[in-house]
Structure 1
Amino acid sequence: MRKRYLIEVTDKNQASVFCPPSLLKDHTIKRIAFGGQSIEANIIPHPEKRERVVFGKSIKEALHFPDYRVPLHLFIENQTLFIGPLIGIFTAGFTPFPLRPIGDRSLFFAKLLSVKKTVGALPFVFGEQHIDWENGLIKAYFYHDNGWEITEVPFPNVIYDRLPNRKTERSHVLQKVRERLQKDYLIPWYNPGFFNKLDVYERLVEDSTVSDYLPETFPFTSFSNIEALLSKYGHIYMKPFNGSLGLGVHQILYDKHEDFYFCRYRDHEDINRLRKFSSLESLFKTVFGNKRLDQMLVQQGIHLLKLDQRAVDFRVHTNKDDQGNWKVTAIAAKVAGPGSVTTHMKSGGVIKTPEEIFPLQDSENYSARLSEAALLLSEALEKQMEGIIGEIGFDLGIDREGKVWLFEANSKPGRSIFTHPELKEFELMTRKLSISFAIFLTEQSIYNPEEIFK
């Protein structure tokens, strides 16, 4: 574990920076940096040999350093002492209300920022409207002492992308902001972009380490393709390429004895439906109407493990830690609501721990298989997708034979599983690693920038 140091700002207007003597044994330091701000300074050993960095008001103001008494990490390179990391969390949807500056997501961000002392970093939230390009400063939203504060800080060492949805992400203005901060200012940007289901499948199916986890999947082209899959598997799923929260998912089943088709889905009134049709054509005409089928994918049906005749799948979170290694941070079972095509809570789904619904030996076995799959899939996605990925939420299933299947990978996973009281500690772990991964990226950008910007 890296060592962290308290940064102390004194009322004295001293020109020197006192530094832990141990850091000055092997280094000559002539500058001090915080985020994107760097100034020349007289850096000398602390006279009392204390393991902290001490400077006065003038240096605090020159660095735009917010004195929140958080132990931070120190990095030394090119005769510069870097204090940090300063982590910008980029999002949209700000409001004029001081108690809820990011609307309904204010509580999520407050909890995310509250890990700063345990992680040893200074995270803040900002949007494109808060950037002062001319002076290289940002009006940053910090959460401190149970309240929101706006403080001007330099550009951050690293940026964590938490844009709320695909529509916002497609904004030309926000895309330009990201491009400029990455290319002109060389700021590592992690977790960019929402995954497209078909894109993920097509990239992973070529990777022999994980292709066995993938159900047969292809874009909708014709009824004959669906007929072929139905005769092979008995049921299939149709999903939007860019769907989320289970919206737009349809299960189509074929009863070969009765020669009837069934469609299970959630309608626009949020009611779970199961309808019967004599032909595939009449099913599509009635259920899909004028919907764009060229934006849908078709996926083989899997006979999942069940609890009380209700399908069970799993949400598995993985995060990169402060060493840049993938970790499984949470596993939850999701039990489908009565008559629901998905296990989402909005459709009546229920969150359980694996231990609640399976005997201990089975739950340990299933958790081990899910963890192995999630780590292999995380590494494969990291290789195959553009950008720096720091967290993934996987929707995985286990069939009656015990085989693991990947249904979906989410680059900005939801947090609904953490409403379960026994998953609170894992919720904290996902927050801590979401921020501590930025420590690793900061270190890499200082010592090995070619690894980050290759």
Structure 2
Amino acid sequence: MNSRIPDQSKPVIAILTTSDRIRQFRGNRSNFRDIIRTGREQGYLVYVVTTRDLKLDERTVNGYVPSATGKLWYSSPFPLPQVIYNRISNREEEEKAPVARKIAECLEHEHIQLYNPFFFNKWNLFEWLKESRSTSKHVPKTRRLRSPQTIAAMLQQHDSLYLKPENGKAGKGIMRLRYRADSTLPFRLQIQTGKKNVTYKAASMDRLWARILREKGKTRYIIQQAIVLATHRGRPFDLRVLLQKNGRGAWSVTGVGARLAGARSITTHVPRGGSIEEPASMLEGTFGTERAAAILKNVPTTALLIARQIERASDNMIGEMSMDLGVDEEGGLWFFEANSRPMKFDEPAIRKLSLERIFQYCQHLARQNK
């Protein structure tokens, strides 16, 4: 680890996570190491802190930094941070009363800036984007899944639908429903488990609904029109956009990647068999050079519009998000998903800039009065 002396004029930054009885703290350690290394190279004092150790009424807190090899983590007293980068890894942790209380205290603290205070809920995202004319045209028809009647009403307009958990991530729990009027078993429900999926066929809405209830349990779901996506080598793909605020506190596009769906997958997520592709060459293969260039030019503009609308409607200060945009057969762009705690992008240039942007924005935040 680079042990450059921290620059006293720069803010102290803490990466927030939750504690773990066995492993000291939770979260993606390799990501934390990369963030700390990047911060040190730029003269920042950066450490990991748990919500339990972050005592806001004390001058120092117990934090963690990696050893020179990066294999071990040492705990040590550090000054109270001026900026907190929230990387709590899942919603269940964040909703626990002591954790939620600590985040609320940070948001109210007069000398601490915390960014990315919460995870997104899919239903809220689509509702927020429908509020603006400029973003509503990029949103597939979406309803809350409450009853078989909701499915019947949606199937009258669309013969293919997606069922998605409101608080899902990485494609978990997503189902696809197709209706084939000419079949004795007209309802086809594709259920994704890991890299495989099974198709359940039903003759009646009652049977279908019983199976959906079994799959979803108590989880709240949305139901959404399936967009016919452009394909590459016969498989659908979508674009992954990373947006972060820069040193001026303005939204900017850090990078655009592409994800191609796995052979039998109903989503493009890499853990479900999807693969990382190069956006320009993939779009060129489908649309030709000129059309591909026009689509790619449209991506940052659309993503920035959407990010600003999400932040405005959420009424919270958000520092970054990743976004999934689908490209239909005509080259139109559709919003599918945004994540307020982006996973790391594997594309090296995007990864490098994304780490630098964290500190540019932290520096901007530290200069703001609350």
SS in 1 for 2:29: helix
The reply to whether residue 425 of structure 1 matches residue 356 of structure 2 is: no
Residues 175-186 of structure 1 aligned to structure 2 (within 5 Å): 175-186=100-111
- Correspondent of 1:86 among 12, 26, 30: 12
Structure-2 residue corresponding to 1:265: 191
Distance 1:132 1:379 in 2: 33
Aligned equivalents of 1:435 and 1:96: distance in 2?
A: 30
What's the CA shift string for 1:405-433, capped at 9, x where partnerless? 11111101222x41xxxx11111111111
Per the alignment, in what secondary structure is the counterpart of residue 372 of structure 1?
helix
How far apart, CA to CA, are the structure 2 residues paired with 1:352 and 1:295? 32
Q: Which residue of 2 aligns with 1:130?
A: 53
How has the CA–CA distance of structure 1 residues 338 and 274 changed in structure 2, closer, same or farther, with 3 Å as cutoff?
farther
Rounded Cα–Cα distance in structure 2 between residues aligned with 1:104 and 1:117: 20
| Residue in 2 that maps onto 1:398 | 327
Q: CA distance change for structure 1 residues 212 and 119 in 2, over 3 Å: closer, same or farther?
A: farther
CA displacement, residues 312-368 of structure 1 (integer Å, 9 cap, x when unaligned): 112111010111111111211111112211111222111111134232444433322
Aligned-CA RMSD value: 2.4
Matched residue SS, 1:111: helix
Q: Is the 8 A contact 1:210 1:380 kept in 2?
A: yes
Task: Please give the alpha-carbon distance, in whole angstroms, between the structure 2 residues aligned to 1:369 and 1:93.
Answer: 42
Q: Is the contact between residue 273 and residue 339 of structure 1 (CA under 8 Å) also seen in structure 2?
A: no
Which stretch shows the higher mean deviation, 139-148 or 375-384? 139-148
Q: Is the 8 A contact 2:232 2:282 kept in 1?
A: yes
CA distance, structure 1, for counterparts of residue 350 and residue 215 of structure 2? 43
1:91 counterpart letter in structure 2: T
Matched, 1:169 2:104: no
CA distance in 1, matches of 2:87, 2:282: 33
Which range is displaced more, 428-437 or 160-169?
Answer: 428-437
**Are 1:436 and 2:365 counterparts?**
no
SS of structure 1 residue aligned to 2:133: coil
For 2:224 and 2:141, locate their aligned partners in 1 and report how far apart those are by CA, in whole Å.
6
CA distance in 2, matches of 1:132, 1:263: 49
Q: Which amino acid letter does the alignment assign opposite residue 359 of structure 2?
A: I
* Ranges in structure 2 where 5+ consecutive residues have no aligned partner: none
Give 1:173 deviation, angstroms. Answer: 0.8
Q: Counterpart of 1:48?
A: none
Structure-1-length-normalised TM-score = 0.74
SS, match of residue 129 in structure 1: coil
Residue 115 of structure 1 aligns to a residue whose secondary structure is helix
Structure 1 unaligned segments of length 5 or more: list them: 1-66, 73-81
C-alpha displacement at 1:185, in angstroms?
4.2
- Pair 208,198 (structure 1): closer, same or farther in 2 beyond 3 Å: same
**Residue 314 of structure 2 corresponds to residue 385 of structure 1:** yes
Checking the alignment, whether the CA contact within 8 Å between 1:92 and 1:163 is kept in structure 2 is yes
Which residue is 1:32 aligned to? none
Letter in 2 for 1:438: C
Residue 329 (structure 1) aligned to one of 235, 238, 254: 254
Instruction: Indicate the larger mover: 393-402 or 336-345.
Output: 336-345
Q: Is the Cα–Cα contact under 8 Å of residues 27 and 87 in structure 2 kept in the other structure?
A: no
Q: Give 4+ residue runs of structure 1 displaced > 6 Å after superposition.
A: none
Which residue number in structure 1 is paired with residue 115 of structure 2? Answer: 190
- Take 1:326 and 1:275, find their aligned partners in 2: how far apart are those partners? 43
**CA offsets 1:160-217 (integer angstroms, 9 cap, x no match):** 1110100110111112222223324441110111000001111221112211111111
Counterpart-to-counterpart distance in 1, 2:56 and 2:350: 38
3-state SS, counterpart of residue 210 of structure 1 = helix
- Match in the other structure for 1:413: 342
Higher RCO (CA 8 Å, separation ≥ 6 residues): 2
Tell me the residue number matched to 1:69. 4
2:146 to 214, 221, 226: 221
Identity of aligned residues (%): 27
Distance 2:294 2:176 in 1: 29
The one-letter code sitting in structure 2 at the alignment partner of 1:130 is D
Residues 15-414 of structure 1 aligned to structure 2 (within 5 Å): 68-70=3-5, 72=7, 83-94=9-20, 102=25, 105-133=28-56, 135-143=58-66, 145-147=68-70, 148-258=73-183, 260-267=186-193, 271-289=196-214, 291-292=216-217, 295-359=220-284, 360-414=289-343
**C-alpha distance in structure 2 between counterparts of 1:265 and 1:96, whole Å:** 35
In structure 2, the residue corresponding to 1:384 is in which secondary structure? helix
Supply the distance in 1 between the matched residues of 2:218 and 2:178 (Cα, whole angstroms): 18
- Do 1:86 and 1:156's aligned partners in 2 also have CA atoms closer than 8 Å? yes
- Distance in 2, matches of 1:347 and 1:131, equals 36
